[in-house]
């Protein structure tokens, strides 16, 4: 399917197609322990060096988080010290930041079900926008208010994996998070009406393994459809009392990993990378095309990576999918490799590191970044292919 390149979405605000993300979760894990990924990975200590590493891939846009629990130790009192350092160093390095206000994690005295949660979040959003504009008055500010509302509401509302540690409350948590999300957008646009909003929701595929079982097929379709509730709330399609508006659905970020496709019956993962492809696996370009046709908004692959030895093969497959979409004229604005730096496990950070980044960490004390040579080669090839495509397209025009 080919798409026209004549799109009017307010323009592509990103400095580079290839993007990178730094882990910034600050939530309480399944054991109630506060996890600070920026500190655990040493990103706060190696900020300059981490930005410098991106030059070889021509990555000039990154995802970072302010860490709500770190910034607001006391209600309505904010410490922007580390945020200011990120603003300063990213500016010096020519790096554009997409800011997560809440990646994962809330202050100790709040949960999404707390009656003051939306007000506190909206106040934080406005305070950040004001503070940022006092330091950087004239760039395009791109914000992700809350990362992965769908996943966060399941993790805390159904799986007891984080605050508020509930079961059967996923919808209620999602509803409260989206109330805060929308109020946060409204408060930021009071400061700067030109702020761009990038959602970052999991892009999944849920399917029945029984092609002749109508009931199973319908149940799988219903589960698959739930992934769109957040975007439908944000755009005002459902729950209009929350104040969602079509213009709040600005840039659609999709987080896509190897385990984002499963069967509805036993949650068996659909394997990727098989030749020929597994008959239930749906290519990324197909999932994104379906999402674009549903909402008509530009797309960013806002997170993607693979743990362990199959990282290069995953990067190669993502590159192939991106190039296919770009050649067909789909408004795909970027692809974010997330994380760039290795990350520890949320629940067992002292015992397990995922080795899913471009640089590995084998010594959590020294935090030395060890290049994963094959992934670096794949990412360099990805970067060159995108540059060549952009260059050839400009010549054609």
pLDDT at position 255, please? Answer: 98
Determine the average pLDDT of the residues in 349-357: 95
Q: 108 falls in which pLDDT band (50, 70, 90)?
A: very high
162 with 156: CB under 8 angstroms?
Answer: yes
For residue 44, pLDDT over 70 is answered with yes
pLDDT band at 9 (very low <50, low <70, confident <90, very high): low
pLDDT in tens, 251-267: 999 999 999 999 998 89
Looking at per-residue confidence, does 321 or 10 come out higher? Answer: 321
Task: State the Cα–Cα distance between residues 110 and 75, nearest whole angstrom.
Answer: 10
What's the confidence (pLDDT) of residue 277? 93
6: pLDDT confidence band, cut at 50, 70 and 90?
very low
- pLDDT for 391 equals 67
At 118-177, the pLDDT tens digits run 999 999 999 999 999 999 999 999 999 999 999 999 999 999 999 999 999 999 999 999
CA torsion through residues 196, 71, 84, 53, sign: negative
| Cis? peptide before 169, omega within 30° of 0 | no
Residue % of the chain over a pLDDT of 90: 94
What pLDDT score does 4 carry? 44
What local confidence, expressed as pLDDT, does residue 10 receive? Answer: 73
Cα–Cα distance measured from residue 390 to residue 62, given in angstroms and rounded to the nearest whole number:
20
Task: Using CB atoms within 10 Å of the CB of residue 350, give its burial: 0 to 12 exposed, 13 to 18 middle, 19+ buried.
Answer: exposed
Distance CA 244, CA 232 (A): 8
Cβ atoms of 321 and 283 within 8 Å: the answer is yes
User: Distance between CA atoms of 319 and 380, rounded to whole angstroms?
Assistant: 11
Q: pLDDT of 172-229, one tens digit each?
A: 999 999 999 999 999 999 999 999 999 999 999 999 999 999 999 999 999 999 999 9
What's residue 2's pLDDT?
47
Report the 10 Å Cβ neighbour count for 38. 23
Phi, psi at 192, each rounded to 5°: -145, 100
Handedness of CA 107, 113, 116, 118 (dihedral sign): positive
Its pTM stands at 0.96
What is the per-residue pLDDT for 390? 75
The CATH class for the domain spanning 18-396 reads alpha beta
Would you kindly state where each structural domain of the chain is located, as residue ranges? 18-396
What number is the average pLDDT over the span 74-84? 98
pLDDT value of residue 393: 61
pLDDT band at 5 (very low <50, low <70, confident <90, very high): very low
Asked if the model's pLDDT at residue 270 lies above 70, the reply is: yes
**Average model confidence (pLDDT) for the chain?**
95
- CA distances 259 to 153, 203, 206, 339, Å, are 18, 10, 11, 16
């Amino acid at each position: 399917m080919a798409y026209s390149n004549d799109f009017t979405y307010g323009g592509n605000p990103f400095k580079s197609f290839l993007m990178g993300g730094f882990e910034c979760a600050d939530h309480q894990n399944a054991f109630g322990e506060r996890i600070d990924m920026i500190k655990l990975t040493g990103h706060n200590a190696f900020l300059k060096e981490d930005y410098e590493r991106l030059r070889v891939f021509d990555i000039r846009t990154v995802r970072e988080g302010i860490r709500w629990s770190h910034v607001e130790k006391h209600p309505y009192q904010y410490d922007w010290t580390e945020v200011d350092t990120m603003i300063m160093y990213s500016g010096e390095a020519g790096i554009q930041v997409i800011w997560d206000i809440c990646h994962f994690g809330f202050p100790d005295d709040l949960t999404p079900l707390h009656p003051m949660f939306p007000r506190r979040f909206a106040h934080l959003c406005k305070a950040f926008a004001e503070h940022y504009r006092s330091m950087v008055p004239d760039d395009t500010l791109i914000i992700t208010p809350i990362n992965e509302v769908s996943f966060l509401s399941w993790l805390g509302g159904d799986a007891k994996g984080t605050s508020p540690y509930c079961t059967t409350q996923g919808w209620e948590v999602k509803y409260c998070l989206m109330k805060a999300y929308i109020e946060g957008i409204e408060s930021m646009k009071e400061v700067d009406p030109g702020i761009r909003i990038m959602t970052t929701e999991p892009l999944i595929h849920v399917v029945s393994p029984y092609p002749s079982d109508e009931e199973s097929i319908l149940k799988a379709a219903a589960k698959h459809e739930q992934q769109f509730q957040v975007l439908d709330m944000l755009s005002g399609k459902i729950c209009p009392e929350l104040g969602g508006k079509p213009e709040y659905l600005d840039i659609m970020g999709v987080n896509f990993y190897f385990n984002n496709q499963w069967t509805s019956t036993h949650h068996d993962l659909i394997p990727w990378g098989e030749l020929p492809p597994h008959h239930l696996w749906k290519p990324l370009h197909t999932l994104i095309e379906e999402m674009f046709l549903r909402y008509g908004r530009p797309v960013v692959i806002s997170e993607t990576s693979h743990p362990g030895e199959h990282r290069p093969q995953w990067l190669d497959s993502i590159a192939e999918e991106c190039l296919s979409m770009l050649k067909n004229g789909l408004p795909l604005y970027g692809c974010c490799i997330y994380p760039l730096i290795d990350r520890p496990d949320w629940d067992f950070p002292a015992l397990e590191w995922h080795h899913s980044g471009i640089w590995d960490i084998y010594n959590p004390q020294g935090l030395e970044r060890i290049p994963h040579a094959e992934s670096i080669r794949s990412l360099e090839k990805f970067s060159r292919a995108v540059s060549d495509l952009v260059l050839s397209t400009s010549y054609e025009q």
